[in-house]
């Protein structure tokens, strides 16, 4: 697939999809993964407000998918590589915009960042093989799997600590035509780098993850798969700014309040 860049923006008429090209947002008739076509309208990119570039029904997320992250979290969640991918789901209410505010919930005293590569699904996937999996991918974006770590640890399963409203910032754009197996993931807190790794170090790569997920869960166009976070996760406080960057895709920036 050709390398192209798509964004979702706020307009006077409501949210719209657009392709980024030569400093302009070329408006589309629908989401690009649903066949949206150029309408002939355009806006300067420096005048638009970016929204989350997905309208997912769900975010299917993968835990324990980097060796170094397993090592740093072994006291909390045990040692060793899991026999199968560890999955959990963030609901659509987690989705948050680039530059959106991450809320610090009163029920938690430890909220962590987790920078990740996110896969945006382009067409319905059910029981897809590893060999065919990438043909169902529309493109890639950046995600922050924000986690209420104290809740995750205390409750024994991860749903509530991972699924707090707006705990899924994503963006700033979807880029097509990328190879997902050698992208750099960087996370900075208040300008200080805490995470830097490569998707080449994923224990299970994107094709294997998609095949495993779709054995049981149908993925729909616009759904998102988070591939896991490397070592370096850590807490955020109110007033902090967190940035997750994947060169070639962009920087996802959010403030904690």
Burial status of residue 39 (CB atoms within 10 A of its CB: 0-12, 13-18, 19 or more): middle
Percent helix, strand and coil across the chain, each rounded to 5? 20, 45, 40
Measure the CA angle with vertex 81, ends 79 and 86; round to 5°.
Answer: 105
Q: Please identify which residue in the block is written with the tokens 């995750």.
A: 152
Structure tokens at 71: 């090592």
Q: How far is 254 from 64, CA to CA, in rounded Å?
A: 24
pLDDT of residue 72: 83
Q: Which domains does the chain have, with CATH numbers?
A: 5-51 (2.30.30.370), 58-256 (3.90.850.10)
Would you call the peptide bond into 172 cis, given omega within 30 degrees of 0 as the criterion?
yes
Rounded alpha-carbon distances, angstroms, from residue 181 to 140, 200, 222, 224:
12, 5, 21, 17
For 108, phi and psi rounded to 5 degrees?
-125, 150
Query: Mean pLDDT across the chain, nearest whole number?
Result: 96
DSSP conformational letter for 177: S
- How many Å apart are CA 116 and CA 229, to the nearest integer? 5
Q: Are 178 and 248 in contact (CB under 8 A)?
A: yes
Q: 135: helix, coil or strand?
A: helix
Going by pLDDT thresholds of 50, 70 and 90, the confidence category of residue 69 is: confident
Percent of the chain residues past pLDDT 90, beyond the cut: 91
Is residue 208 classed exposed, middle or buried when 0-12, 13-18 and 19+ CB atoms within 10 A define those classes?
Answer: middle
Q: In terms of C-beta density within 10 A (0-12 exposed, 13-18 middle, 19 or more buried), how is residue 45 classed? A: middle
The mean pLDDT of 41-46, rounded to a whole number, is 97
Percent of the chain exceeding pLDDT 70 equals: 98
| Cα–Cα dist 220/231, whole Å | 30
pLDDT at position 2 is: 86
Q: Tell whether the model's pLDDT for residue 160 goes beyond 80.
A: yes
For the ranges 52-61, 69-78, 178-187, the lowest mean pLDDT is seen at: 69-78
Position 241 confidence tier, pLDDT thresholds 50, 70, 90: very high
Residues 7, 18: contact at Cβ < 8 Å?
A: yes
Q: Is the pLDDT of residue 120 over 70?
A: yes
Query: For 57-68, what is the mean pLDDT?
Result: 94
Q: Are 236 and 113 in contact (CB under 8 A)?
A: yes
As a residue count, the chain comes to: 257
Give the N- to C-terminal CA distance of the chain in Å, as an integer: 39
């Amino acid at each position: 697939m050709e390398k192209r860049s798509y964004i979702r923006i706020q307009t006077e008429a409501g949210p719209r999809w657009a392709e980024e090209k030569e400093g302009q947002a070329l408006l589309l008739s629908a989401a690009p993964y649903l066949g949206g076509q150029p309408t002939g309208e355009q806006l300067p990119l420096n005048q638009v407000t970016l929204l989350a570039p997905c309208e997912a029904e769900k975010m299917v997320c993968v835990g324990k998918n980097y060796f170094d992250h397993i090592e740093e979290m072994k006291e909390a969640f045990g040692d060793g590589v899991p026999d199968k991918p560890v999955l959990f789901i963030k609901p659509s209410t987690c989705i948050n915009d680039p530059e959106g505010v991450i809320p610090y919930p009163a029920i938690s005293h430890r909220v962590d960042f987790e920078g990740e590569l996110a896969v945006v699904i382009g067409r319905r996937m059910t029981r897809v093989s590893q060999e065919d999996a990438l043909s169902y991918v529309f493109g890639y974006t950046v995600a922050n799997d924000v986690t209420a770590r104290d809740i995750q640890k205390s409750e024994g399963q991860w749903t509530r600590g991972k699924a707090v409203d707006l705990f899924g910032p994503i963006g700033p754009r979807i880029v097509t035509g990328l190879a997902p197996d050698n992208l750099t993931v960087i996370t900075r807190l208040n300008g200080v780098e805490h995470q830097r790794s490569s998707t080449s170090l994923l224990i299970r790569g994107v094709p294997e993850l998609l095949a495993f997920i779709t054995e049981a869960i149908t993925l729909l166009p616009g759904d998102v798969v988070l591939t896991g976070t490397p070592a370096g996760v850590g807490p955020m406080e109110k007033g902090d700014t967190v940035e997750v960057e994947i060169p070639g895709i962009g920087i996802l920036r959010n403030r904690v309040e």
